[in-house]
């Protein structure tokens, strides 16, 4: 269990989005769809949660896909292939509850498309029909379209600027399918406003909807409580009780507010440390 | 010889100075002061102090060597009973244990056992006194889950018996609460906790950080696939409890664990140098009355920009479970005690940031199940306390990860692990102790449980009693 979490492969998927293959044989053996890890790129970085997108037991590797949004993801992007990330724990969280529902709408927004991929694969493997709806600000930010298309019966794209697919939000593509009673189950992963909009929409149709929440996290083992979310009026720790919850029970406004907790410190940090230079031990 | 009732005084940093730094408050005794204090002991035939210590450290035995000016021998003696004296000397609630039971306490001047234990422990670390080496190596591998005081003690005991010991720790740093919880100004990481861990490493204990047992390998896999002869579970009770009042999800309402972890483990006390932030504003409220609450309050006071720290506790000072010394230090440093007060709600601004705690005053009624007088709200006493941040330090629960992933264990109704008196769980070859069994308790009890379980493991594996 004393791994060196080396970066085996480093690929750029879009201007700010990277896919890494990391050496983590014990985690690769254990991980299931829906699991995540917490890593710390450098000894002086924060610990951040990232979803395990895929794994290869034979090679002893796991893949992550992340978007550079702040200091820690920038530290991570600054590492080179062959270098290790300092610390990495997992697999964390409950794996996705996979069942055969019939037709499942897989809704992903932005970098939320990354966590969606393993879940989609698992639902597919369980015999579901998949309708995949991917949303992003612009075509250049859409990731994993090919991988998802290869396991989906239908793929619908939406972009804010209309550069790919339908112009507008994912809900615009989802609504007609709900109206047509084509969808038995919805899985949505993406920015909080997107997940909230999907939840509000599907509630009216009574279609069961799960979301994968992305609160701030620290230890990932249930020790700190920063990841607490309000679900059905109760406090739930997303790192050990989630991260997937029934969308119709989630207080998204609380989650959205809590994500802004350290906005000023994050901004200061981004500005203070201009290049996520590679200085790993 | 007349009784010497001049109890030694622990030198400490001046309150005005220390409330702005994270260096240790207590500075430790010098050799002469320690010798004099040890000479004050009556060396009672029936030392009541030993009965007061939960692990029955042979107190007069180590004091005698100190009195005779032989701190090396004193260190060897204490280490037979307590592998982490520098830590216990600092954090044990001596005033309710060994020092309470000391005969000289009746005269108001018990021997400063804690301060002397700290002196001897520090001496051993300073002199780099080698720990007892195993007489002979054994082939059996033992897994310890969790690197808090309980796991560390169990690891040390087993290693001394020659076992091949690996400690698995979920976090990136070792020490459990000693590292992420108890702040630097009470227990130096660099001077005490790290060197104690290095001593174990020198002895041959192997440490595996970043290993969440249960998720990565299960207990069952450690035993069967990975060939461990036995497992000791010492995962602590680090699952924070919230009050369940409205507004607890507002920004800058922290659990004590989150707050202290940001400051200690992620080193937010280094302020500008640290990547992990903590934001407190000018006015901080801390809810609770235990060691954790006082540690949070005093840590908050030391952060830049903080002007007022309110300690909000629903009973009176008498019922506070914290160490007496911490309460005294907190008062000296200027923590504002709001006793007989409880928050009933937190209110926020439009951005979801904390703005105030709605507090109610309490009165004490007849004693409850814990033997302490039960607080009841005084009607019509509600008021608003403006706060920029709040820390909830009202206790912790059992972490569910091991229980969820180890079906063979028997649990109490509160989710703690059930063990026999020697630390054996319901699963063969699996032992447990410390806070995950007792609920949140003390460092010395967690250590005692680690030692007891180590001896039980040795007995179960070899048939030899220690
Ligand atoms: C279970 C889980 C799985 C995740 N999986 C992925 C993944 O596969 N790929 C990926 O790119 N990201 C994922 N995230 C989000 C990722 O953890 C954050 O983007 C990261 O922590 C940002 O750190 P930073 O220091 O670079 O940015 P910061 O400076 O901390 O933040 C920059 C901006 O990002 C926002 N932000 C910070 N943390 C989060 C968060 N947890 N979620 C959403 N926004 C956040 C901040 O509010 C801020 O606006 C996941 C989060 C969780 C909880
Ligand atoms: C802030 C604070 C102040 C305190 N002050 C005092 C004091 O002054 N005096 C005193 O006597 N007591 C004090 N206590 C209580 C004391 O610290 C605890 O009783 C003691 O640490 C319990 O020891 P432990 O070894 O059982 O658990 P812990 O110290 O909690 O250590 C458990 C370790 O196990 C790890 N772990 C958990 N789950 C897993 C897993 N699945 N896999 C691997 N590792 C895992 C955790 O990360 C942690 O490192 C204080 C507690 C706190 C929180
Ligand atoms: S371990 Fe604690 S109670 Fe026991 S003698 Fe030492 S200070 Fe006193
Ligand atoms: S009870 Fe007090 S005086 Fe007697 S041996 Fe113990 S420490 Fe010394
Ligand atoms: S991240 Fe700390 S409890 Fe979930």
Residue A1's pLDDT band, with cuts at 50, 70 and 90, is very low
Q: What is the rounded distance in angstroms from the CA atom of residue B429 to the CA atom of residue A153? A: 51
pLDDT in tens, A193-225: 999 999 999 999 999 999 999 999 999 999 999
CA of A229: which chain B residue's CA is closest?
B249
Between residues B266 and B261, which one has the greater pLDDT? B261
Residue pair B24/B188 in contact (Cβ under 8 Å)? The answer is yes
pLDDT in tens, B422-437: 999 999 999 999 999 9
DSSP code for B192 = I
Q: Does residue B241 register a pLDDT over 90?
A: yes
Residues in chain A within 8 Å Cβ distance of B275? 44-46, 71-72, 269
CB pairs under 8 A between A and B: 119
Question: By percentage, how much of chain A surpasses pLDDT 90?
Answer: 78
Q: Does residue A14 register a pLDDT over 90?
A: no
Residue A270's pLDDT band, with cuts at 50, 70 and 90, is confident
Residue pair B340/B362 in contact (Cβ under 8 Å)? The answer is yes
Residue pair B150/B450 in contact (Cβ under 8 Å)? The answer is yes
pLDDT in tens, A145-177: 899 999 999 999 999 888 888 888 999 999 999
Put simply, the answer to whether A27 touches B239 (Cβ < 8 Å) is: no
Q: Is A72 in the pocket of ligand 1 (CB under 6 A)?
A: yes
Nearest CA among A232, A242, A247, A164 for reference residue A198:
A247
Between residues B463 and B389, which one has the greater pLDDT? B389
Give residue B278's pLDDT: 85
Q: What is the rounded distance in angstroms from the CA atom of residue A277 to the CA atom of residue A83? A: 13
Question: By percentage, how much of chain B surpasses pLDDT 90?
Answer: 79
Put simply, the answer to whether A91 touches B208 (Cβ < 8 Å) is: no
3-state helix, strand, coil in chain B (%, to 5): 40, 20, 45
Task: List, as one string, the DSSP characters of A200-226.
Answer: HHHHHHT--EEEE-----SSSSSSS-T
Across chain B, what does the average pLDDT equal?
92
Residue A281's pLDDT band, with cuts at 50, 70 and 90, is very low
Average pLDDT of the segment spanning B169-196: 94
Question: By percentage, how much of chain B surpasses pLDDT 70?
Answer: 98
Name which of A46, A223, A264 is nearest B275 (Cβ-Cβ).
Answer: A46
Q: Does residue B273 register a pLDDT over 90?
A: no
Q: Which ligand lies nearest to the CA atom of residue B399 in the structure?
A: 2
Across chain A, what does the average pLDDT equal?
90
B350 to chain A nearest CA, in Å?
Answer: 10
Q: Is any Cβ of chain A less than 8 angstroms from the Cβ of B215?
A: yes
Least confident among A181-195, A258-272, B415-429, B448-462: A258-272
Q: Max Cα separation, chain A?
A: 56
**Structure token pair of residue B406:** 């180890």
Task: List, as one string, the DSSP characters of B378-413.
Answer: PTT--EEEE-SEEEE-S-EE--SHHHHH-TT--B-T
Half-sphere exposure in the Cβ direction for A234 (13 Å, CA): 8
Q: Is any Cβ of chain B less than 8 angstroms from the Cβ of A74?
A: no
CA A61 from centre of chain: 18
Q: What residues flank ligand 2, with Cβ below 6 Å?
A: A 221; B 91-92, 145-151, 168-171, 176-177, 181-182, 211-214, 234-236, 238, 260, 291-292, 295, 323, 399, 401-402, 434-435, 440-444, 446
Q: What is the rounded distance in angstroms from the CA atom of residue A240 to the CA atom of residue A221? A: 6
Residue B5's pLDDT band, with cuts at 50, 70 and 90, is confident
Q: Does residue B132 register a pLDDT over 80?
A: no
Give residue B346's pLDDT: 97
Give residue B55's pLDDT: 87
**pTM score:** 0.92
Ligand 4 atom closest to residue B42's alpha carbon, by position in its atom list: 3
CA dihedral over A122, A123, A129, A135, signed as positive or negative: negative
Residue B371's pLDDT band, with cuts at 50, 70 and 90, is confident
Q: Does residue A115 register a pLDDT over 60?
A: yes
pLDDT in tens, B116-130: 999 999 999 988 776
Q: What are the strands of the beta sheet with A84-85, ordered from one edge?
A: A54-56, A61-67, A17-23, A5-14, A84-85
Q: Is A239 helix (H, G, I), strand (E, B) or coil?
A: helix
Q: What is the rounded distance in angstroms from the CA atom of residue B63 to the CA atom of residue B45? A: 14
pLDDT in tens, B12-53: 999 988 988 888 999 999 999 999 999 999 999 999 999 999
Q: Is any Cβ of chain A less than 8 angstroms from the Cβ of B242?
A: yes
Least confident among A1-15, B263-277, B341-355: B263-277
Name which of A46, A88, A253 is nearest B276 (Cβ-Cβ).
Answer: A46
Average pLDDT of the segment spanning B316-341: 93
CA of B350: which chain A residue's CA is closest?
A257
State the burial class of residue B379 (Cβ atoms within 10 Å of its Cβ: 0-12, 13-18, 19+). exposed
Q: What is the rounded distance in angstroms from the CA atom of residue A202 to the CA atom of residue A219? A: 33
Q: Does residue B1 register a pLDDT over 70?
A: no
Nearest CA among B143, B145, B157 for reference residue B224:
B143
* Residue given tokens 């032989």 in the structure block: B70
Give residue A205's pLDDT: 94
Q: Does residue A118 register a pLDDT over 50?
A: yes
Residues in chain B within 8 Å Cβ distance of A86? 172
3-state helix, strand, coil in chain A (%, to 5): 30, 30, 40
Does residue B392 come out as left (phi exceeding 0), alpha (psi in the -120 to 50 range) or beta? beta
Nearest CA among B32, B55, B37, B56 for reference residue B46:
B56
């Amino acid at each position: 269990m004393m791994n060196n979490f080396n970066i085996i492969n480093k690929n750029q998927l879009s201007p700010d989005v990277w896919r890494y293959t990391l050496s983590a044989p014990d985690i690769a053996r254990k991980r299931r769809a829906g699991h995540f890890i917490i890593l710390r790129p450098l000894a002086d970085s924060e610990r951040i949660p990232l979803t395990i997108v895929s794994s290869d037991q034979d090679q002893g590797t796991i893949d992550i896909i992340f978007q550079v949004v702040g200091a820690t993801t920038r530290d991570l992007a600054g590492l080179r292939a062959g270098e290790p990330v300092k610390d990495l724990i997992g697999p964390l969280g409950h794996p996705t509850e996979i069942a055969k529902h019939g037709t499942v709408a897989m809704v992903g927004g932005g970098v939320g498309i990354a966590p969606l991929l393993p879940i989609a694969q698992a639902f597919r493997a369980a015999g579901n029909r998949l309708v995949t709806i991917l949303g992003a600000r612009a075509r250049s930010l859409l990731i994993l379209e090919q991988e998802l298309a290869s396991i989906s019966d239908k793929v619908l794209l939406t972009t804010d600027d209309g550069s790919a697919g339908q112009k507008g939000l994912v809900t615009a593509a989802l609504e007609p399918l709900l109206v047509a009673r084509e969808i038995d189950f919805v899985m949505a992963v993406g920015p909080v406003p997107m997940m909230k909009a999907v939840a509000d929409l599907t509630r009216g149709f009574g279609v069961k909807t799960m979301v994968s929440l992305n609160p701030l996290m620290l230890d990932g083992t249930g020790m700190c409580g920063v990841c607490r979310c309000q679900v059905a009026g109760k406090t739930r720790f997303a790192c050990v009780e989630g991260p997937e919850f029934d969308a119709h029970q989630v207080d998204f406004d609380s989650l959205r507010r809590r994500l802004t907790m350290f906005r000023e410190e994050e901004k200061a940090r981004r500005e203070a440390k201009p290049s996520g230079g590679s200085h790993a031990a | 010889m007349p009784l010497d009732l001049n109890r030694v005084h622990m030198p400490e940093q001046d309150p005005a100075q220390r409330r702005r730094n994270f260096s240790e408050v207590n500075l430790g005794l010098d050799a002469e002061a320690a010798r004099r204090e040890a000479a004050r002991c009556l060396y009672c035939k029936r030392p009541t102090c030993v009965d007061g210590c939960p692990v029955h450290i042979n107190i007069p035995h180590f004091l005698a060597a100190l009195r005779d000016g032989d701190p090396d021998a004193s260190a060897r003696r204490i280490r037979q009973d307590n592998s982490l004296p520098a830590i216990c000397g600092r954090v044990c609630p001596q005033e309710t244990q060994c020092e309470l039971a000391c005969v000289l306490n009746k005269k108001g001047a018990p021997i400063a056992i804690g301060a002397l234990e700290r002196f001897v422990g520090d001496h051993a670390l300073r002199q780099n006194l080698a720990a007892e080496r195993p007489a002979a190596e054994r082939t059996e591998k033992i897994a310890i889950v969790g690197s808090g005081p309980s796991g560390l003690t169990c690891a040390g005991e087993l290693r001394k018996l020659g076992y091949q010991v690996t400690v698995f720790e979920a976090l990136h740093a070792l020490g459990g609460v000693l590292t992420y919880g108890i702040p630097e100004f009470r227990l130096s990481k660099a001077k005490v906790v790290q060197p104690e861990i290095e001593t174990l490493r020198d002895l041959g204990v192997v440490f595996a950080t970043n290993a969440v047992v249960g998720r990565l390998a299960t207990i069952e896999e450690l035993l069967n696939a990975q060939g461990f002869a036995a497992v000791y579970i010492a995962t602590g009770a680090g699952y924070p409890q919230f009050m369940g009042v409205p507004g607890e999800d507002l920004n800058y309402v922290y659990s004590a664990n989150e707050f202290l972890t940001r400051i200690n483990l992620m080193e937010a006390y280094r302020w500008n140098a640290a990547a992990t932030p903590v934001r407190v504003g000018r006015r901080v409220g801390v809810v609770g009355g235990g060691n954790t609450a006082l540690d949070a309050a005093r840590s908050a006071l030391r952060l830049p920009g903080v002007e007022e720290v309110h300690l909000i506790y629903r009973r009176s000072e008498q019922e506070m479970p914290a160490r007496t010394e911490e309460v005294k230090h907190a008062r000296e440093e200027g923590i504002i005690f709001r006793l007989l007060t409880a928050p009933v709600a937190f209110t926020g601004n439009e951005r979801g940031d904390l703005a105030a705690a709605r507090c109610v005053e309490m009165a004490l009624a007849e004693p409850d199940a814990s033997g302490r007088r039960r607080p009841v709200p005084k009607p019509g006493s509600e008021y608003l306390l403006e706060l920029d941040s709040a820390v909830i330090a009202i206790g912790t629960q059992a972490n569910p990860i091991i229980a969820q992933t180890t079906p063979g264990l028997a649990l109490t109704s509160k989710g703690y692990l059930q063990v026999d008196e020697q630390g054996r769980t319901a699963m063969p070859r699996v032992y447990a102790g410390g806070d995950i069994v007792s609920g949140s308790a003390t460092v010395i009890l967690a250590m005692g449980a680690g030692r007891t379980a180590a001896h039980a493991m040795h007995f179960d594996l070899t048939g030899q009693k220690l």
